Amino acid sequence: MAPERGVFANIQMNRLDIAAWQALFDDAAGGSKPAGASASTAGAADEALAYLPTTLAVRAQQLAVGGRTLHNVVLGASRDGMLWRGNIDSTELSGYAEYRSAQAGRLYARLARLKIAPTEATAVESLLDEQPGTLPALDIVVDDFELLGRRLGRAEIDAVNRGGAGREWRLNKLAFTTPEAVFTAQGTWAAVSGEQRRTAMDFRLDIADAGGLLNRFGKKDLVRRGRGRLEGQVQWSGSPFALDYPSLAGQLQIDIGSGQFLKAEPGIAKLLGVLSLQALPRRLTLDFRDVFSQGFAFDFLRGDAKIAQGVASTNNLQMKGVNAAVLMDGSADIARETQDLRVVVVPEINAGTAALVATAINPAIGLGTFLAQMVLSKPLIAAATQEFHIDGSWTDPKITKVPRRLLPEALRTPDAPIVR
């Protein structure tokens, strides 16, 4: 006599690991029914599937699932064929979810909260160790999302698994919304050659309060106010949730207005400590000290950068303040946290000088060509301009004042004077 088929399962225990249950379900629902399976094989799979419960109630102090452990779990779920539906409440998450086990699977969830703690970072990344073709399709909205200790506000993710020879996981939408900013992105994760996997992403960050956004990420008192955008296209080797700096490539555009770099130690601010120019006053004349000593207030900060193998380079980063314009070119190694930058400070000789200088430079011209043109056409401004070289680490930048040249290097004769 065949055993009675299960309909309802009520589980109460201190700890429950559902890996074995998942394996049983996958074997019964999907693994036993490959494409082109015979009628007898498919019938055996249907028979095995029928013994899985159609209604499930779980109460557990710990529930191990997908490499994570949830605590104080209350779960109610029902099954319709290969589709599970359920409501779950635990310390880490709360809301409604659906999961369909077919091909790579599909997860639909509407959650009030979801918390992924820093201690679970390795477990989260391990979920992406397999090929892109193994990831399920996702349709998830979380009202309150916390990732690795950072509160990211409302989160939305829409992704599909295209499978096939390309083994591509396409990210149709990734969005995070906080009072300070809105981040949106689209991209792909695919096996591009052999076992190599690569992520490509287009993104845009619309910023309402740059200072508040940095505060949210633990970088307090670096910037006050600031509105604008940061956008670009980036790619790297590995999964979408494990940014690999040495292989990072792409391009960025930044345009931020009406802000101020605050007085902070470069060791805290890292590269922002360099941009805030607080280390420059000891190399400047006293006339400039009031411009930079408390942090540079800017009308705008903008420019373009290209990234190759984790090194970002620019030839037109520019800031305009009340009393000066600041222009930069050079590079920053994101992985090693070092830089090699040229910083040019152009004072406000007369009304409009700083604005004229800051708006004249662009990627096509670059800082070098612009300085050569300025020396020839605006010698008074050029004579008052000061140049610095910044290298070394972000935490301990080395700043060297560069002697001023009345003519650019390409146009100088051996007897042309150098002004120090």
Q: Which has the minimum average pLDDT: 45-49, 247-251, 344-348, 397-401? A: 45-49
The pLDDT of residue 30 is above 60: no
The pLDDT of residue 159 is above 60: yes
What's the pLDDT score for residue 54?
86
Q: Which has the minimum average pLDDT: 176-180, 320-324, 362-366? A: 362-366
Query: How many whole angstroms separate alpha carbon 370 and alpha carbon 386?
Result: 14
The pLDDT of residue 179 is above 90: yes
The pLDDT of residue 354 is above 70: no
What's the pLDDT score for residue 243?
84
Q: Which residues contact 235 (CB under 8 A, 6 or more apart)?
A: 198, 199, 200, 201, 248, 249, 250
Q: How confident is the model at residue 42 (pLDDT cuts 50, 70, 90)?
A: low
Q: How confident is the model at residue 67 (pLDDT cuts 50, 70, 90)?
A: low
Query: How many whole angstroms separate alpha carbon 163 and alpha carbon 238?
Result: 17
Query: How many whole angstroms separate alpha carbon 216 and alpha carbon 99?
Result: 33
Q: Which has the minimum average pLDDT: 109-123, 270-284, 356-370? A: 270-284
Burial class (CB in 10 A: 0-12, 13-18, 19+), 345: buried
Q: Which has the minimum average pLDDT: 60-74, 235-249, 285-299? A: 285-299
Buried b (16+ CB within 10 A) or exposed e, 116-155: beeebeeebeeebeeebbebbbbbbbbebbbbeeeebbeb
What's the pLDDT score for residue 202?
97
What's the pLDDT score for residue 176?
97
Query: Residues 42, 33: contact at Cβ < 8 Å?
Result: yes
Q: Which has the minimum average pLDDT: 45-59, 71-85, 132-146? A: 45-59
**pTM for the model:** 0.80
Q: How confident is the model at residue 72 (pLDDT cuts 50, 70, 90)?
A: very high
Most confident of 207-211, 263-267, 410-414: 207-211
Of 238 and 1, more confident: 238
For residue 27, CA distances in Å to 45, 135, 138, 294 come to 8, 17, 22, 65
What does the pLDDT average to over 83-101?
A: 93
* Token pair for 11: 């589980």
The pLDDT of residue 178 is above 70: yes
Q: How confident is the model at residue 321 (pLDDT cuts 50, 70, 90)?
A: confident
Q: What is the pLDDT of residues 402-411, one digit of tens each?
A: 886 654 554 4
Q: How confident is the model at residue 73 (pLDDT cuts 50, 70, 90)?
A: very high
Query: How confident is the prediction for the chain on average, in pLDDT?
Result: 77
Q: Which has the minimum average pLDDT: 38-47, 82-91, 140-149, 326-335? A: 38-47
What's the pLDDT score for residue 291?
43
% of the chain beyond a pLDDT of 70: 65
What's the pLDDT score for residue 186?
96
What's phi and psi for 247, nearest 5 deg?
A: -100, 5
DSSP structure string for 375-393: HHH-HHHHHH-EEEEEEEE
| Helix, strand, coil distribution of the chain in percent, nearest 5 | 20, 50, 30
Q: Which residues contact 336 (CB under 8 A, 6 or more apart)?
A: none
Of 73 and 5, more confident: 73
The pLDDT of residue 255 is above 60: yes
The pLDDT of residue 165 is above 80: no
